[in-house]
Amino acid sequence: MNGIGKCIWNGDEFGNVDKTSLKLKSEVASDEDVAEFKKILETGAATEKNPSNYSVNYRLFTNRIAAFKDENPDSFSYLPMRILNNCILLPIEADNQNTALRIFTTLNDRGMPLSDADIFKAQFYKFFSQDGKQSKESFIKRWKILAELCDKNFSPRKGTPVDDLFMRYSYYAKTKKAVEQNSRISETFSNMRDFYAENNYEILRDKEAFADLETLAKFWDDVNNRSDRFSPQILKKLYVLSYSPYSVWSYVVSLYFMSWHEQVDENDFGCFLDKITALILLNGILDFGKQTIRRPFVLEFKNIYNGEPIKFEQYRQNSGLVRRRLDEMNFGNTKAITRTMLAWQTFRNPAQELPPLGADLQIEHILAKKRQENHHVLQNAEALEFLGNKALLEKRINIRASDYRLVDKRIFYFGDGKSKPGTFNLELRRLAEEHDDFTESDILDRNEEIFDAFIAYLREQDLLT
């Protein structure tokens, strides 16, 4: 035990350890967590329900050891001896943090990986700590609020919610740097961790950068919670974009906002959102892929930063080609572009309001699938999956209305005026008022109407030749 103690605590020349003088040091933990860590080492007990990782992990191991002792009392004495005799404490020295991180990643290959946010937080923590205890404690509180905003508003496909915030901010930071240095923005972005690590994490040694991150997180919190800082028209456009098959839209909107958040003009913002919506829908219809969609945006980054109009001139497509693609395309429910197109179609109506916060929308077959399966009402069975037969509908209504004729769906679409509200979707209400049944010709007519409107929309956004 004395040998282990010398690794943990400082001691005197006689080999006695001083449990008030800890050798171990953390540059990322808060003062409160460090105090809890010291307490565990000094007393051998963790504060009950303390949320720090030190306490959580310590309680886990003490509980597991206690359970092992109860289940194997005769062999329990071998456990500490096995650990002491077979575990080696190996010091590793690294000449810089990047080397240390690579070593950690290699050794930790089967463990919980460090997120990008963990590393960025450590850099900010060291920077703010230089100004003393008050600055350090203020940073800890601000980071906690920042992380809570991210957890509430971001659900990235990979990485943590805070990682997603740093990714969104990186588009602004990269563009700002390129403009200041009058350099070209590469179409192939470097790894996010590598970008922030440039010049020994120079970008994270800046109080303004952290304030920018807070501003950006608050922007997305206001978007997701429909703050009155934005008009209903802007919120609707952002809502349609939330169905985008490509996450790049949120990075580009972040770039726009951070470039002009102090003087964002609503009309200009709305035109910008329409332009990128049209490009995303066009890319999805042509099925060009995620990598292709980034290039036209990168070419416009400096224009976005400088407040210049974006044109996507190099991405304009032949109208006949787009129309043929629409006619040939299978708008299956599993395709992300199907939901995006339906969201765009829903909010073509200026009177259409947003669904309630948290509403779970599904794809509704206006002519029910069960009717086709049981009665074969369509001559062309493929028409069942045409975009003209689909709309967004709340899950709670879709479950109840899925197998009925349109005349029978009216009660579900309109609700009972009491405990069961109707759908937010005005088009479905209108169709239920105008039709007793939704026939094959109705599907084809609506399909053509949607495609014609979409072609007109792309032409309006100057994306067609």
Instruction: Report the pLDDT value the prediction gives residue 98, as an integer from 0 to 100.
Output: 63
> Which residues have a Cβ under 8 Å from the Cβ of 457 and sit 6 or more positions away?
278, 344
Instruction: Report the pLDDT value the prediction gives residue 145, as an integer from 0 to 100.
Output: 95
Nearest to 97 by CA among 201, 25, 187: 201
Could you tell me the two tokens for 393?
């509908």
Nearest to 355 by CA among 343, 364, 363: 343
SS3 of 49, please?
A: coil
| Residue type present at position 345 | Q
SS3 of 18, please?
A: strand
Domain boundaries defined on the chain: 2-91, 133-311, 328-460
**CA 290, CA 312: separation in Å to the nearest integer?**
16
CA distance to 278, 455, 463, per residue, from 319 (Å): 13, 7, 9
- For residue 228, report the phi and psi dihedrals to the nearest 5 degrees: -75, 5
Instruction: Report the pLDDT value the prediction gives residue 120, as an integer from 0 to 100.
Output: 92
Instruction: Report the pLDDT value the prediction gives residue 366, as an integer from 0 to 100.
Output: 95
pTM (predicted TM-score): 0.81
Read off the DSSP letter of residue 202: G
Cβ–Cβ under 8 Å, residues 459 and 319: yes
Query: Kind of pairing, strands 361-365 and 17-22?
Result: unpaired
Report mean pLDDT in 10-residue bins for the chain, 465 residues.
Answer: 72 77 69 78 82 86 90 88 80 71 62 79 90 91 94 91 96 94 78 88 93 97 95 97 95 95 88 97 89 88 92 93 95 95 97 95 94 90 96 92 84 86 96 93 97 98 96
Read off the DSSP letter of residue 246: -
What is the 3-state secondary structure of 344-380?
HHHCCCCCCCCCCCCCCEEEEECCCHHHHHHHCCCCC
